[in-house]
Amino acid sequence: MKINSIKTKGLIRVLLFANILLCGVFSIAGAVPSLLVHGLVTRGDIVFLSFLNTFNPDIAVELAKSQREGLNREYVDEQLLVESSSLRPYWPYYQLELLYVQILNHDDVDLIRLTFDKVISLGAHERGIDVGIIPMSFMVWTSLREDQIGWVMSRMNTARQSTTTNLIKVSEDYGLKWYLCSKLQWIQVARACRGD
């Protein structure tokens, strides 16, 4: 749905700003990417909103995501994610997003390993973290320590078979499919690893 009316866009922006000023929370943080795509808010609006509501890390996360999805993929403002994760230090999904940004920015291997460790310690019982961190681990597979690779392998062995099958398909893009097929339990990977 493309909204072209300037009045409609203006009204939506006024309502968005009113929501933030009156409620003190950014309750529609998840809708920001959609609002950006439809041109209802701009990145400048999100920067402005972050100044209005400095204690809500969701705004900083959404701004960092919009930068990552924008034209300049070489530089992502890592500082926004560091600030938002410091406000909620025990929330593993902010650390997961920070790990992704570090990988995209080609940060130091030791920093990536440290963030990886932080994510797996905070999200030890979060299967949602697995779906995010395992594909990221394929991106930096050769940079991970042996214990981190072992953690990834054990999580893939204990995941649902459909999840492991999807992860094997993703690993193909990084040349890891046959390595994983040879190392994981056959019952987990049989569907994905049978001959093409």
Q: What is the DSSP string of 78-139?
A: HHHHHHHHHHSTT-HHHHHHHHHHHHHTT--HHHHHHHHHHHHHHTTT-HHHHHHHHHHHHH
Examine the pLDDT at 3 and tell me if it is beyond 90: no
pTM of the full structure: 0.61
- pLDDT, one tens digit per residue, over 109-125 is 999 999 999 999 998 88
CA gap 19, 132 in Å, rounded? 31
Residue whose C-alpha is closest to residue 176's, from 127, 142, 145? 142
Give the pair of three-digit tokens for residue 135: 């594909």
Residue whose C-alpha is closest to residue 94's, from 43, 50, 59? 59
The total of structural domains in the chain comes to 1
- pLDDT, one tens digit per residue, over 121-165 is 998 888 888 888 999 999 999 999 999 999 999 999 999 888 899
Whether residue 184 is contained in a domain is answered as no
Whether residue 165 is contained in a domain is answered as no
Whether residue 66 is contained in a domain is answered as yes
Whether residue 135 is contained in a domain is answered as no
Whether residue 32 is contained in a domain is answered as yes
Whether residue 195 is contained in a domain is answered as no
Give the pair of three-digit tokens for residue 130: 């697995």
Whether residue 33 is contained in a domain is answered as yes
Whether residue 51 is contained in a domain is answered as yes
Q: Which domain holds residue 4?
A: 1-71
| Residue 62 burial class via C-beta count within 10 angstroms: exposed 0-12, middle 13-18, buried 19 and up | buried
